Structure 1
Amino acid sequence: MAPPSRQDLDATDLTAVLGEFTRRSIRLPATEKHSFTTLSVLHTLAHKGPMRLTTLKASEQITQPAITQLVTRLERDGLVERRPDPEDGRAVLVQVTPAGAQVVRTRQQDRVRRFGQLLEALTPEERRAIGAALPALARMAALMDTER
């Protein structure tokens, strides 16, 4: 059996690199100091719109008591608000407030700035390689959303 070519991609290698990249990128210094779960919930609501608690719980993969407690805290801090669901008067939707959306924007700006600095430390060939991989990584991310 011939050894794999350089074009072959091993799922174990990809998982290891993406895992390490994710762990380190989550910990990048930020102006806004919030937990990963808080940032994830705010990001989800800012990008996907208002959601029921049960949908948000499933999206964030945390327990019902945990999402209820987190949303209560975020509501108290003025980052989200609960509104009646227009399709079901018994249910509520959680939506991000302007202050919550600003947290997401500030975090994004911090990350763009820091990734820009990191990109400057790479060779032109490394930057081109990452650029060439972006469409495939975006497709993988989209495929992850369809698997739920």
Structure 2
Amino acid sequence: MRSNAGLATELRFAVMRLRRRLFRERHPDNDLSVSSMAVLYALNRQGDLTVGALAGREQVQPPSMTRTVTALADAELVERRPHPSDGRQVVVRITDEGRAVVAADVTRRDRWLSKRLADLTPEERDVLRRAAPILQRLAEAD
């Protein structure tokens, strides 16, 4: 039986390699940074968010997130709007162009991963199906 430390090492290594592999499968027209894509994914999934909420979600400082949002706004992938009740804040919304970037990225990466999953046995796919929510919980843990 593996120790938790040994399992941690194996999982970390496997998840990092899979992340790198999926990163290489990005849409060829997509030259956005990982942090920019993370912002687009968050806005696409969760709806409008403040710069502060995005910074907290991505675990970066607000000035860093402001630079990312500015670059995305300059590319017309997001738009900034005044906060409805707090004039000191800005709400960030994904544009249709931003949604198209996310959709193209998701399609390409999911296609690659689906092909790889088809090569696995039904039992292996079942293990991954059961592991996915556990990995998600680990990713969201403090």
Superposition TM-score tier, normalisation by shorter sequence? 0.7 to 0.9
- Given that 2:48 and 2:94 are in contact with CA atoms closer than 8 Å, whether structure 1 keeps it comes out as yes
- Over residues 20-55 of structure 1, what are the superposed CA-to-partner deviations in whole Å (9 max), with x where a residue is unaligned? 222222222424412211111111111122222222
**Aligned letter for 1:59?**
R
Matching residue within 92, 97, 100 for 1:99: 97
* Secondary structure of the corresponding residue to residue 67 of structure 2: helix
Give structure 1 regions of 4+ aligned residues with deviation exceeding 4 angstroms: none
Please say which structure displays the higher CA radius of gyration.
1
- Given that 2:26 and 2:105 are in contact with CA atoms closer than 8 Å, whether structure 1 keeps it comes out as no
Q: Quote the sequence identity (%).
A: 36
Assess, with a 3 A threshold, how the Cα gap between structure 1 residues 60 and 132 changes in structure 2: closer, same or farther.
Answer: closer
Aligned match of 1:18: 15
- Given that 1:82 and 1:94 are in contact with CA atoms closer than 8 Å, whether structure 2 keeps it comes out as yes
Aligned match of 1:70: 68
- Paired positions, count: 139
* Secondary structure of the corresponding residue to residue 134 of structure 1: helix
**Aligned letter for 2:63?**
P
1:31 and 1:110 mapped to 2: Cα distance?
Answer: 9
Matched ranges for 1:8-87 at <5 A: 10-33=7-30, 34-87=32-85
Aligned match of 1:117: 115
2:66 and 2:136 mapped to 1: Cα distance?
Answer: 31
Unaligned runs of 5+ in 1: none
Unaligned runs of 5+ in 2: none
TM-score (norm 1): 0.79
**Aligned letter for 1:114?**
W
